[in-house]
Chain A
Amino acid sequence: MLKDLVAWLLSTHLSQTIQEVEWIVPALQTVHILFIAVVLSSVAMIILRVLGLIGRAWSISEMAARFLPWVWSALIVLVITGALLLTGEPKRSLLNPVFQAKMAMLAAMIGVTAAFHRSVRHHPARWNQAAKSPPSARLIGGLCLLIWVCIIVAGRWIAYVTVP
């Protein structure tokens, strides 16, 4: 089924254009990289706050309110540039196990971020009451930061793993 999608994408005019005009892929990748910087730093600010390492003058819900909009907006740009990159090189991405792993981790992180967003909005006291975040929150936060980094690593390694 994926191979059918790849074949269809390759047949589109958009795909042809992206492949033929030399600067489009590197330009898309550059925008992609810049917005990865936005997501990573916004996510890091929130997680570092949950870990109690920065911004203790503000509550966790205040930090979340400040940085989550950036996470979501940047993710939208990343999905758009990612979709265009994928359209230009569908075989290199869709059939690549590293790309698939990246998508799986990304889906998980989007889910966690959405759950966190909902929790912080509807139950701020849960996050703001204690002087220190509970160990479980800190552990999950740390793990999430690690997974976000793994997503970036996977993104870079798409180029290094060839699709048979």
Chain B
Amino acid sequence: MSILEICGWLDNSPLAVAIREWNGLFATIETFHVIALVQVAGSIFLIDLRLMGLASRKYPVAQMLREILPYTWVGFAVAAVSGSLMFVSHATQYYGNFSFRMKMLLLLTAGVNMLTFHLLTYRGVANWTLHPPRAAKIAGAVSVVLWIAIVTFGRWIGYTMLPF
């Protein structure tokens, strides 16, 4: 089955039909998405600024990550679920949308950046928890740029989809 065929199948699913036709349902799902995304982006910026040594310099990195990341993950879960529901409701159109594709690509890249940081650089955090090494600073900077781009393309999806 091609991706386009899967999108078509999703478009015709009862779930997609319900989201498209029940008054206010899409808007409600989107609202959860907006709240979740500002929470995710905000908490990630907090951590990135810390990694770059630009803010909260007295907050040990390990402690900060331990305290903040749970909230980031909950927010990301809400954003992912709400995003998936929105996608399902207009799958073919989103799939063909340039901004949507860029956003997905950038999310993947941000994931790789975070994974690399956690599996490699963060391993030695006990040695540098107050003064992040260059690798951590780069991870933070890359993350800031990626997430700004993710939010931007996310906003542009709304502007480039056909009205529904």
In the assembled complex, the CB of A138 is this many whole angstroms from the nearest CB of chain B, namely: 18
**How big is chain B's contact interface, by range?**
20 to 34
Q: Does A121 touch B at the CB level, under 8 Å?
A: no
In the assembled complex, the CB of B156 is this many whole angstroms from the nearest CB of chain A, namely: 6
Q: Does A152 touch B at the CB level, under 8 Å?
A: yes
Contacts known (A40-B39, A149-B35); A30 close to B27, Cβ less than 8 A: no
Bound: A125/B42 CA distance, A: 30
Contact check, B155 vs A29: say whether CB atoms are below 8 A apart: yes
Bound: A115/B15 CA distance, A: 47
List chain A residues, Cβ under 8 A from B41.
34, 37
From B42, B63, B155, B158, give the contact of A41 (CB < 8 A).
B42
List chain B residues, Cβ under 8 A from A70.
55
Q: Is the interface of B mostly helix, strand, loop or mixed?
A: helix
Q: Identify the closest chain A residue to B152 (Cβ).
A: A30
From A26, A152, A157, give the contact of B159 (CB < 8 A).
A26
Bound: A157/B148 CA distance, A: 23
Contacts known (A26-B159, A45-B46); A36 close to B68, Cβ less than 8 A: no
Contacts known (A30-B151, A34-B148); A152 close to B34, Cβ less than 8 A: yes
In the assembled complex, the CB of A39 is this many whole angstroms from the nearest CB of chain B, namely: 8
List chain B residues, Cβ under 8 A from A33.
34, 37-38, 151, 155
List chain B residues, Cβ under 8 A from A36.
38
Q: Does A153 touch B at the CB level, under 8 Å?
A: yes
Contact check, A37 vs B42: say whether CB atoms are below 8 A apart: yes
Question: Could you pull out 8 A-B pairs where Cβ atoms are within 8 angstroms?
Answer: A30-B155, A37-B37, A37-B39, A41-B42, A41-B46, A42-B42, A66-B56, A160-B24
Interface residue ranges, B against A (CB under 8 Å): 24, 27, 30-31, 34-35, 37-39, 41-43, 45-46, 55-56, 59, 63, 67-68, 71, 148, 151-152, 155-156, 158-159
Interface residue ranges, A against B (CB under 8 Å): 26, 29-30, 33-34, 36-42, 44-45, 54-55, 57-58, 66, 70, 149, 152-153, 156-157, 160
